[in-house]
Structure 1
Amino acid sequence: MQTMSLQVGAHLQPTLSPRLQRAVRLLQMSSMDFSQVVRDALDNNPFLETEDGDPAPEAMAMDDVEPAVVAERPLDGADGVGWGVEPVSRSRMVDGDGVFDTLQAQTTLADHLLSQLNLLSLPERDWALAMAVIESLDDDGYLRTPLQEVGSLVPLDPPADSDELVVALRRVQALEPAGVGARDVVECLMLQLPQVGCDKRRALAARILRECVQCLASRDMNAVARRLGVPLADAESACMAIRRLDPRPGWRFGGPSVQYVTPDVIVRKVRGQWTAVLNDAVVPKVRLNRGYAELFRRHRNAENAELGAHLQEARWTVRNVEQRFSTILAVAQAILKRQHRFLAYGAMAMKPLALREIAQEVGVHESTVSRVTNNKFMATPCGVYELKYFFSRGLATASGGECSPTAIRGLIQELIAAESPAQPLSDVEIARQLAFQGLQVARRTVTKYRQLMKIEAADRRRASH
């Protein structure tokens, strides 16, 4: 006989207070966005003031240091299947006086996706996982962070399993624009195939993407028709349908593809050692107004509780500014300690680096390092790089060590630069030469890296000479 019983249990589940959640959001902001938040606080909180003789935060962000062009991080996955369409120029809006006031601020990709996600009636756990996927997307809409790493950024009890993460990814991929959340260009285009109206053309387009995407990239319609056993006219029609799709759906939203930024950290060589220092131009010069705070303390009563909240908020803002930039500097120093050879020898000296290594040295959680390295930039003698550029998974070498993908791309570029114009190296030959140096890299990986660096295939390089 079955019996029913009521059991009461207790368990601990980590939750973030509203203030801590806000601190996490502020840590993830770019310095320009953070400067705007501090500026708003200065305008609305009587207990905050700028330091005497220092410019206001908006002036520091835009005038003190000449902005630099960001060194672009190559895109992962297959690239350039023949579209040749340049992204539309987009500008980041900054509040303030002048011509920028007449421009309309654009919605970011994350905001656009979040507005759709909030319309779904999702349990809090499912919403948190989907939001983590959205926050991990690159500007072009691709997810290049492994799903398990995305799941580790969400403090859930029990931790998210692989099935939950796949469901979260599929949920994001179902949002608009179609193709967002893809791991590579083929998956991106596959997600957009429902837009092709003709069933026959859509089915053939799917076969082309699965079986002969390289023929599509080289615009060899005869090879497509021959490999799939279809009439040439059908192959051309299906390829034309694919070319009408958008291989970079995220570029419709947010900031420009080439950003002009003011670096958060500047790298200098002091007494033969590389060291990182904060860029004063992006650190808001804000402090507590001691006179107002003391006056409030003397005359505090129940009628001015709102002023008490302002004072508490002002103290929190000052602490947050200090903690934000001390964390950025500590993470930058830890990165520099491990990647100092990159500054001396270039991309070929880049070492594999995981978030975990930096988190352990700085004494913070991996998710904190992930947020700190997002939209934060380091000015080096080699150029200006986003902090996350210095992280990569290691590839095994024949000697049992590890090599960074960035270093391998540097080697490929060097091999191609030294090749004979009359006999350029094929991807197979490049893979063979890398193997002679102890690097076991597959031919398809060489092809992917070559495409990421916008280097043409061997036959086209020969023809260009």
Structure 2
Amino acid sequence: MFNGLRQKTGLRVGTQVRVDPKVVLTSQILQLSGAELEQAIESELMENPALERIDDYDDPVLQEEILRAVAPDQLKPSGENRELQRSLPPDGQTDHDWVDMATSVDSLWDHLMAQLRSRLSDELLPVGVYYVGSLNERGYLNCTVEDAALDCDVTLEEAEEALKALKDCEPAGVGASDLRECLALQLRSPSTDAERLARMMVRKYWDELVARNRRALSRQTGAPDELVEEAFEVILGLDPFPGESFTRHHVPQRQERVAAAQPDVVILLDEFGYVVEVPGPSPIHLRVNRAYEKTRQHIASGASIDPAEKRHIMEFTDRAERFLEALGQRRKQLAQVGKYLIERQGGFVRTGEYRFLVPLTRSQVAKDLGVHESTISRATNGKFVQIVTKDVISFDVFFKPALRVQKMIEEILANENPDSPLSDERIAQMLAEQGVEVARRTVNKYRDRTKLLSSRMRRSA
């Protein structure tokens, strides 16, 4: 007989996965670029009192001493300049740094990223970084929207939104996929009849424009000959290579080419062989604060200490050590990738010639190095490597087979006789002679993807 009470017994079995904070931090640090890593270090130094930089000198030179040596007249305002005295912060507050006032030169990368940071959300900014990193020195885009969406793990709509933001940046025309789009971007806001006609000629009558067929343009647009001539002058005044224009106008004192980005890995070749360097922040420049380390040793020896202080010391010293270890793991992983590229892509790394590129995937690199594919993805996405020729290229170059064929076609056309342009069929034959079998229509596709014209148009040009 039951009295209304019921008892139920059972055993519930489950699995709870806890991720090691050290693993999470290592993954986060690994995927940062050099500039982002500097920001992360500065943020950690501000938040963690147990972490500190190692000074290069025991007695560092004070800022006042530097200023007294290089600009003694600007150390303090004269007594007559009362307005300047009133504007200075109170004694002991030095919120400004005289070094920040020195003139500096922005690369195309810096110039574009400064604009994209205000145009894109935090979620889409990595896509903008991807696009900027895919620009060549002339300002043209060497990737597709599909490439960006796939590599950055975003939707096509989001990738298109980021690309539109890039094309809205200055210099006008940057981010175009070919010459036609580059000129159209520079004519997107016409203010005169000649500019409006020039925009129409670029967008609708490109073949006639390239052939310089003024009569046909006048007939098809219905514009008088004089206006057509003015439109031609407008187009001739545009910059076909906005990236080079930026370098030329903004960096006149430098003769060498400005790299689009700072390398995360540098591969050198000297008389002893290859050398792989990982520039940027290193754990040897940081350490656990000595006072915190000494107190932790007292705790370990069993010394009596306030529980709250003990928690504080242990929490921040452990955090500092995890951060330093993550920095070391990042450098180690990037160095491993650099050494791997020397072994598998030695011909390209040494010469910079794309015909030496061999097919390679991130999963293959991960398998050969004995790490997870996501590790290689974090180590290479959005990062750059400087090869022996001093060229700074995106890591994506090694993982895109189509890019090899495209670059080889560009090299062939760059060396052709302008009086006898090569046909697509002949280019396909030359590629076959170099061990690359592609169809004529494939050559046409890759040529159209860039700013390269057909043989008939190249002869006319």
1:293–1:109 distance in 2 versus 1, CA, 3 Å = same
CA distance in 2, matches of 1:275, 1:55: 35
Question: Residue 47 in 1 paired to residue 50 in 2?
Answer: yes
1:143–1:34 distance in 2 versus 1, CA, 3 Å = same
Q: How does 1:243-282 map to 2 (within 5 A)?
A: 258-259=258-259, 264-268=265-269, 277-279=276-278
SS in 1 for 2:184: helix
CA distance in 2, matches of 1:317, 1:432: 52
Question: Residue 428 in 1 paired to residue 423 in 2?
Answer: yes
TM-score w.r.t. length of structure 1: 0.58
Question: Residue 149 in 1 paired to residue 179 in 2?
Answer: no
Question: Residue 325 in 1 paired to residue 331 in 2?
Answer: yes
CA distance in 2, matches of 1:110, 1:269: 34
CA distance in 2, matches of 1:403, 1:170: 23
| Cα offset, 1:317, TM superposition | 2.4
Q: Please tell me whether the aligned partners of residues 267 and 386 of structure 2 are also in contact (alpha carbons under 8 angstroms).
A: yes
Q: What is aligned with 2:214?
A: 222
Q: Report which of the two structures shows the higher radius of gyration computed on alpha carbons.
A: 2
Q: What is aligned with 1:168?
A: 161
1:377 maps to which of 385, 390, 414: 385
Which residue identity does 1:406 align to in structure 2? K
1:325–1:435 distance in 2 versus 1, CA, 3 Å = closer
Larger helix proportion, structure 1 or 2? Answer: 2
Which residue identity does 1:324 align to in structure 2? R
CA distance in 2, matches of 1:145, 1:55: 49
Question: Residue 29 in 1 paired to residue 33 in 2?
Answer: yes
Q: Please tell me whether the aligned partners of residues 347 and 356 of structure 2 are also in contact (alpha carbons under 8 angstroms).
A: yes
2:117 maps to which of 100, 114, 118: 114
Q: Please tell me whether the aligned partners of residues 179 and 451 of structure 2 are also in contact (alpha carbons under 8 angstroms).
A: no
Gaps spanning 5+ residues in structure 2: where? 1-20, 60-95, 252-256, 300-304
1:282-309 C-alpha deviation (Å, 9 max, x unpaired): 6452354374344333246325866666
Q: How does 1:163-312 map to 2 (within 5 A)?
A: 164-165=157-158, 168-169=161-162, 172=165, 175-177=168-170, 182-198=176-192, 201-202=195-196, 205-212=199-206, 215-216=209-210, 220=212, 222=214, 225=217, 228=220, 230-242=223-235, 258-259=258-259, 264-268=265-269, 277-279=276-278, 283-289=282-288, 291-297=290-296, 298=299, 299=305, 301-302=307-308, 310-312=316-318
1:183–1:368 distance in 2 versus 1, CA, 3 Å = farther
Q: Please tell me whether the aligned partners of residues 431 and 440 of structure 1 are also in contact (alpha carbons under 8 angstroms).
A: no
Q: Please tell me whether the aligned partners of residues 286 and 318 of structure 1 are also in contact (alpha carbons under 8 angstroms).
A: no
Q: Please tell me whether the aligned partners of residues 225 and 231 of structure 1 are also in contact (alpha carbons under 8 angstroms).
A: no
2:398 maps to which of 383, 391, 396: 391
1:367–1:234 distance in 2 versus 1, CA, 3 Å = farther
CA distance in 1, matches of 2:169, 2:451: 31
CA distance in 2, matches of 1:25, 1:249: 34
Which residue identity does 2:217 align to in structure 1? A
1:355–1:39 distance in 2 versus 1, CA, 3 Å = same
CA distance in 2, matches of 1:269, 1:258: 23
1:102-147 C-alpha deviation (Å, 9 max, x unpaired): 23686642342232335xxxxxxxx73x434322222667553332
Q: Please tell me whether the aligned partners of residues 147 and 165 of structure 1 are also in contact (alpha carbons under 8 angstroms).
A: no
TM-score w.r.t. length of structure 2: 0.59
CA distance in 2, matches of 1:55, 1:35: 23
Question: Residue 351 in 1 paired to residue 358 in 2?
Answer: yes
1:24-66 C-alpha deviation (Å, 9 max, x unpaired): 4773323x6645754775688553456798999xxxxxxxxxx
Cα RMSD (Å) of the superposition? 5.1
SS in 2 for 1:323: helix
CA distance in 1, matches of 2:188, 2:384: 38
| Cα offset, 1:372, TM superposition | 2.9
| Cα offset, 1:335, TM superposition | 2.4
1:249–1:325 distance in 2 versus 1, CA, 3 Å = same
Q: Please tell me whether the aligned partners of residues 266 and 378 of structure 1 are also in contact (alpha carbons under 8 angstroms).
A: yes
| Cα offset, 1:20, TM superposition | 5.7
CA distance in 1, matches of 2:460, 2:161: 43
SS in 1 for 2:341: helix
CA distance in 2, matches of 1:173, 1:450: 18
CA distance in 1, matches of 2:459, 2:99: 48
CA distance in 1, matches of 2:105, 2:428: 50
CA distance in 2, matches of 1:35, 1:151: 27
- Single out whichever of 348-357 and 322-331 deviates more from structure 2: 348-357
CA distance in 1, matches of 2:382, 2:148: 14
CA distance in 1, matches of 2:351, 2:104: 43
Aligned length in residues: 368
Q: Please tell me whether the aligned partners of residues 264 and 282 of structure 1 are also in contact (alpha carbons under 8 angstroms).
A: no
- Single out whichever of 46-55 and 332-341 deviates more from structure 2: 46-55
1:59-113 C-alpha deviation (Å, 9 max, x unpaired): xxxxxxxxxxxxxxxxxxxxxxxxxxxxxxxxxxxxx999675236866423422
1:135 maps to which of 123, 126, 129: 129
Which residue identity does 1:285 align to in structure 2? I
Which residue identity does 1:103 align to in structure 2? T
| Cα offset, 1:325, TM superposition | 1.0
SS in 2 for 1:195: coil
Gaps spanning 5+ residues in structure 1: where? 1-16, 57-95, 119-126, 396-401, 461-465
